[in-house]
Structure 1
Amino acid sequence: MRKQTILFDMDDTLIYCNKFFDLVIDQFADQMETWFNGYPFSIEEMKKKQAEIDLERVLVSGFSPDHFPQSFIDTYEYFTDLTGRTKSQEEVERLLTLGASVYGHSIEPYAYMEETLRELQGDGHELHLYTGGDPAIQMRKVTEAGIERYFADRIHITRHKNAEFLNGLIRAYGFDRRDTWMIGNSLRTDILPALKNGIHAIFMPVEREWAYNLVEIDVEPSGAFFTLTSLSQIPETIRGYAISKYASGS
């Protein structure tokens, strides 16, 4: 079997992420319900507005660490303007602190993370970590998850994770697209860019996905495109595809 180049997403592929955002959003909604008690708004309406604002910010500024806390402030100001309720700097600061707290949670790996990376490395493949976000925050996660030994200096972090950046990465490292894989949970930032760049893709859907990650796949795969439900399925899937591909001479 020929060596494959395998790019892994990190958040909600190797380690949990969205569930911590959901917990903080629930705390935000509870706080907003307390402050806006008596006004004709439900918790769900407040959460929907926050999600809309957060999505708009990410589309403009990418994975900046400021966008999530700021979405709390923007939502708070939207409802104070709507109701005429007095704005409070103390409340603003409280929301900023709450929003920023999402980046300090303990790392929780997905099942079979360690075993999967070890097996792929043992098969002789070259592993890369390709993740979106703030470099300092993402590197803290890498360190706490203990996965540096699998990726070494092959860790790529960007605030704008898209087809253009991936293409630049492929060209800069001279990846053979016929032997390159992208593995991740995001249709928008992992799978669609991979298919647009003519590399293999493995989609790892999660139970509760961030709306930002959900897009239509409108590209015909030129290579492999699998949907798997466990990291443990990845080594055999890649092994089986690579062996059958080269056995057939394609």
Structure 2
Amino acid sequence: MREQSILFDLDDTLVHCNKYFDFVIDQFVDLMLTWYSGHGLTKQDIRQKQLQIDLAGIQIHGFMPERFPQSFVETYQWFAQHYNRPVSSKEVDWLMQLGHTVYSYTVEPYPLMNETLHKLVQAGHNLFLYTGGDVSIQMKKIKDVGLDQFFQDRIFVTVHKTREFMNTLMNEKQFDRDHTWMIGNSITTDVLPALHAGIHAIHIPVVDDWVFNNGTIDVTPKGAFYQLPSLLEVPEAIQSYTKK
């Protein structure tokens, strides 16, 4: 079996991510309900507006860390204007600080993360990490769960995890596309860029994923495309395909 180059996504593929954002959003919603009590504002109203603003911000700023706290502030300002309520600089500062707390959590690895990566290394494959976000924040996560032992300096971090960046990465690092895989939970930033780049893809969906990660497969795979329920099934899937 020829060795493969295997790129892993980080957030909600190898380590938990969404649950920390959900927890902080819950706190934001509770604050807004307190500040806007008597206005008829609902949890659903707040969540929908924050999501709308956050998704719009990604198109401009990508995965820059300021985007998420700023979505709280812009949501707050939108409802302030809607209900003719004065904007408080103290409340704005509070929301910015709250939004930034999401980056302070020590992340938890997904079940069987280490076992999966060990199997792939022992099989002779080359592992790479390809993640979206701020370099310092992502590197902290990587070190917190010991992923640097598997990926060493083979780590790529970008604020815009797009089809264009994936294709550029394939070219600049001279990946052999017939023997390269992308593994992740996001249709938008993992699967579609991989398939458009002509490499293999494995989708590992998560329950109640962030809306941004959902998408429609609009390209015919040139190689393998699997959807698997867990990380542990990845080594066998790759081995089975490469034996064909």
C-alpha RMSD of the superposition? 0.6
The 5 A counterparts of 1:53-202 are 53-202=53-202
The residue matched to 2:243 in structure 1 has which SS? Answer: helix
Q: Alpha-carbon deviation of 1:107?
A: 1.4
Question: Tell me, what secondary structure is at the counterpart of 1:181?
Answer: strand
**What is the TM-score when the length of structure 1 is the normalising length?**
0.96
Q: Give the letter for the 1:42 counterpart.
A: T
Aligned match of 2:35: 35
Secondary structure of 1:100's partner? Answer: helix
Deviation string, structure 1 residues 134-192 (Cα, Å, up to 9, x no partner): 00100000110101111111000000001111111111121111110000001000000
Question: Aligned AA for 1:24?
Answer: V
Q: Which 10-residue stretch deviates more, 206-215 or 121-130? A: 206-215
Displacement after TM superposition at 1:60 (Å): 1.2
Alpha-carbon shift at residue 97 of structure 1 (Å): 0.7
Q: 1-side partners of 2:75 and 2:22: how far apart? A: 16
**In structure 2, distance between residues paired with 1:229 and 1:41:** 38
CA deviation vs aligned residue, 1:5-58 (integer Å, no higher than 9, x gap): 000000000000001101110110011000000002211101100000000001
The count of corresponding residues between Structure 1 and Structure 2 is 244
Amino acid at match of 2:215: V
The structural deviation recorded for 1:103 is 0.4
Distance 1:140 1:216 in 2: 32
Q: CA deviation at 1:59?
A: 1.2
Alignment identity in percent?
50
Q: Which runs of 5+ in 2 are unaligned?
A: none
2:236 equivalent in structure 1: 236
Gaps of 5+ in 1: 245-250
Structure 1 stretches of at least 4 aligned residues deviating more than 3 Å after TM superposition: none
- Partner Cα separation in structure 2 for residue 174 and residue 67 of structure 1: 32
